[in-house]
Chains A and B, each alone.
Chain A
Amino acid sequence: MDKDFTPTIIGFLCNWCSYTGADLAGTARMHIPPSIRIIRVMCSGRIDPLFVLRTYLKGADGVMMMGCHPGDCHYQKGNYSTRRRYVMLDTILKTLGLDEKRIGLWWVSASEAPRYEKVTNEFTESIKKMGPNPVFKEIFI
């Protein structure tokens, strides 16, 4: 394992919960790993599986999808759709053996800055253990 390896992680964060939670973690000066790059979406239901697949195939080492806890969605039911889509994506990747562990879904509410700190750090660690995304080895895909 390369000790200096800093993974590139793309996070799709819902505007109302997770993004605000991340913001709170920032203002509270918590330790957020530098590996995560955040893309704000209005609802986690906006995260098209194609966004995630494209991110993965273009070489991101990990993809984090984050949204409000089920039942707390700003738009009532958006995150239930996210959950189904995530399960679908996870099943596809698992079936094809395309390390599905590089893609994950977490519920983080606006007040859960410590949880945001915890999950980003944990995920970064687990990606570090897995090493760089193998699509870099398979250049001509």
Chain B
Amino acid sequence: MAKALKINKNTEEGLLQLLEFLLDSEKVEGIFSLKKLNKNGNIAYSLITNKDELKGAVPLDPHMPVNAGKILSHFTLAEKTKRPVAAVLRPCELRAFVELIKRAQGSLENILLISLSCGGVFPIDTMNNGDAKKRSSSYAESLKKAENSPDVRKTCQSCDNFLPQLADMTVLTVGKKDADKECIIYLNTKQGENFAKDAPGNTISAEIESSETEKLKSKRKENKEKLFKDFEKTGNGISGFSRVFAACLGCHGCGEACPICYCTLCDFDSKTCEYKPESYESELEHKGGLKIPPGTLFYHLGRMSHMAVSCVACGMCSDVCPVNIPVADVFTKVGAALQDVFQYSPGKDIEEPVPSGTFKEEEFKEVGEH
């Protein structure tokens, strides 16, 4: 049984109260959370040190303007933070942060990780639709019943990895029927317990996994299998694959939004992948035709070979695609296959090396011997 903090307020207010307490008691110097920027409903990740600014914070808002793992990595890349910061992020963002730390792109030190059992987020392009109130109330209802909200992204609807693995604190949202009245925050680690010491609320012991989370997990697993099967029908083979990516502009937006793609200069933006007049000429000579801009399939396959094994299935790539290519469907499918081969689970264990950067002498013995 894990320890948990019970606060008699609704879930969001309960979490805000805890954040306020952390700031007030000077246990942390800053809060990293989503914050409302204006009345239009625009939100963005923000660092907050002033207690008054915490008022507009919406840590549980179901939007992901950018994968927070990437932001936290930028924040801690040059140097760890000198002062403790509490960061509220979704499980996939946390996984992304851990994957980046494994690639020496950040540090966990002085960061208090607060995550949540995640019901998914809305697509980013619906952020300003104006129906936010209606959507969030139906979202809250689905969460209480531990069901998939129909408005959340396709990737989120098929994500069965919605319980955070390395968080210091986990806010319970999925299947919480009395979310309007009480807030449960699990304290998973020693660090979490220390920070929550003397916080307002009662300490209870409870288990985060329940029949409700299991229900949602199996539903989402089902969705995932269906998603993969559907892709096989449309995207199999070179003809299917090129059909799926036919509309690709070559903007590389998916790579920019991808939390795992951290390279300052991407191979595909570098001179190595530049098309020179003679490359056009030689290719046209052989094929008699060429898609412009060239090399879009090569980009996606190449990016896959670089990062898919660590794909955290956050869905940012699909979300930012200007021509609505289901990039995440392909990458999560390939990622799942690779993770299966290497028995690897991204973001689960901070000590485990990334499969693409290591090897074992006693593995794949049959390869190359035929």
Contact = CB atoms under 8 A, between A and B. Distances in A.
A88 B302 contact: no
Nearest to B304: A92
Interface residues of B, number: 45
Given A87-B341, A96-B334, A138-B242, A107 B368 contact: yes
Contacts, number: 112
Interface residues of A, number: 40
A89 B305 contact: yes
B263 interface: no
Given A59-B286, A81-B359, A95-B337, A105 B367 contact: yes
B171 interface: no
B355 interface: yes
Contact of B338 (A92, A136, A139): A92
Given A50-B302, A84-B359, A138-B239, A59 B370 contact: no
Interface in B354-370: 355-356, 358-361, 363-364, 367-370
| Consensus secondary structure, chain B interface | helix
| Consensus secondary structure, chain A interface | helix
A53 interface: yes
Contact of A141 (B297, B308, B360, B364): B297
Interface of A: 49-50, 53-54, 57-59, 67, 69-71, 77, 80-81, 83-89, 91-92, 94-99, 105-107, 134-141
Interface of B: 232, 235-242, 246, 267, 283, 286-291, 296-298, 301-302, 304-305, 308-309, 330, 333-334, 337-338, 341, 355-356, 358-361, 363-364, 367-370
6 contacts: A77-B359, A80-B361, A87-B364, A88-B341, A94-B337, A95-B337
